[in-house]
């Protein structure tokens, strides 16, 4: 209601394994984390007005906004995307703060979208409805054909667990993360934006593969040999192998088989580098250094690639002295929460 003071926190996410599978309806294994975005303010008025600690320019978005892509500054496009999709009955004035690295591959944009959805439309209480709206908002804001993983992990995270998500059926199965396993995220220092990146091209190549062998989510590894185009074949090989690796990683977590989990992460990075071509020399070098560190089971790029962060799984405390890069030991978090007073 107008005049309500609202505080919404929405976590980022780290994807342990399963990248570039969600937009083909495949399997992913992310966890919401204890780095988050907070939207706080009051409902009312005919505009959404937000000040961010990450950008000096204020976002001012009228409720009647038509095209989010034309809104400035750039970060306000995400606000406008949510406004267009949510069609809230009233505006909002407040602030945005975050502990997430922007452009780091930890879903700062999805956390913002989820927090905004719940600020403007508190009636959308279930995680899936919130995630779907946030995903549509990102499509409108950026034109990037992202899957639903980021928004669903942020909205529906569970403390102490990763989420095994089937991005076709949208079934979510919590998978416990062992207490003796550190999940460490290291910032490569190479910022990236999916808008303007080859992300859409990769998604189109996956659709081209499906035109030959059918839905990639259903095809077993090896089916890609029927694809004549070597680039499209490589893209499909990654997705088919990655879906299998996600299943195996969930099994490894349940069985506390850290060595197998680490091997799967290393294989995933190699596939993202060689078959999907979304890694960079900076990411490759960082993954190599981490994988060679004592006590580290495995490492890989996390998120869509083209820069951003690397995730490593390690024995407790093994990376406590890591440097010089910025790093975080992340803990699996509950999903977004709302306080109204």
Spatial contact of 261 and 300, defined as CB atoms under 8 Å apart: no
> Which residue of the set 150, 182, 187, 275 is catalytic?
150
**Prior bond of 337 cis (ω within 30°):** no
Known catalytic membership, residue 150: yes
The pairing of beta strand 296-301 with beta strand 308-315: antiparallel
Q: Measured between alpha carbons, how far is 246 from 29 in angstroms, rounded to an integer?
A: 6
Partners of 296 in the beta sheet?
314
Angle, CA of 55, 335 and 177, to the nearest 5°: 115
Spatial contact of 167 and 148, defined as CB atoms under 8 Å apart: yes
- Tokens standing for residue 91: 């505006």
Torsion, Cα 205 151 96 35, to 10 degrees, reads: -100
Task: Please identify which residue in the block is written with the tokens 């779907």.
Answer: 132
- Tokens standing for residue 182: 């550190």
The pairing of beta strand 47-52 with beta strand 92-98: parallel
Q: Catalogue the active-site residues.
A: 150
């Amino acid at each position: 209601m107008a005049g309500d003071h609202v505080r919404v926190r929405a976590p980022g996410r780290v994807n342990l394994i399963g990248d570039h599978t969600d937009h083909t309806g495949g399997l992913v294994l992310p966890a919401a984390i204890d780095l988050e975005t907070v939207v706080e303010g009051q409902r009312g008025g005919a505009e959404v007005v937000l000040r961010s600690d990450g950008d000096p320019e204020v976002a001012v978005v009228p409720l009647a906004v038509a095209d989010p892509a034309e809104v400035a500054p750039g970060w306000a496009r995400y606000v406008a995307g949510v406004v267009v999709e949510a069609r809230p009955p009233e505006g909002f004035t407040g602030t945005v703060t975050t502990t997430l690295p922007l452009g780091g591959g930890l879903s700062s944009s999805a956390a913002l979208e989820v927090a905004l959805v719940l600020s403007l439309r508190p009636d959308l209480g279930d995680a899936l409805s919130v995630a779907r709206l946030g995903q549509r908002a990102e499509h409108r804001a950026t034109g990037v054909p992202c899957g639903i993983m980021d928004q669903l992990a942020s909205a529906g995270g569970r403390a102490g667990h990763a989420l095994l998500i089937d991005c076709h059926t949208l079934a979510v199965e919590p998978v416990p993360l062992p207490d003796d396993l550190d999940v460490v995220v290291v910032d490569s220092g190479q910022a990236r934006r999916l808008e303007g990146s080859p992300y859409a091209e990769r998604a189109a190549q996956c659709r081209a593969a499906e035109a030959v062998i059918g839905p990639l989510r259903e095809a077993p590894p090896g089916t890609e040999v029927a694809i004549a185009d070597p680039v499209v074949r490589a893209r499909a090989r990654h997705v088919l192998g990655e879906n299998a690796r996600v299943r195996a990683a969930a099994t490894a977590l349940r069985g506390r088989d850290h060595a197998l989990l680490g091997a799967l992460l290393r294989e995933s990075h190699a596939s993202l580098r060689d078959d999907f071509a979304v890694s960079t020399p900076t990411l490759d070098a960082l993954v190599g250094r981490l994988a060679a560190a004592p006590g580290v089971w495995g490492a890989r790029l996390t998120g869509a690639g083209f820069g951003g962060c690397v995730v490593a799984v390690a024995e407790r405390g093994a990376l406590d002295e890591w440097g010089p890069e910025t790093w975080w030991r992340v803990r699996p978090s509950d999903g977004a929460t709302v306080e109204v007073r």
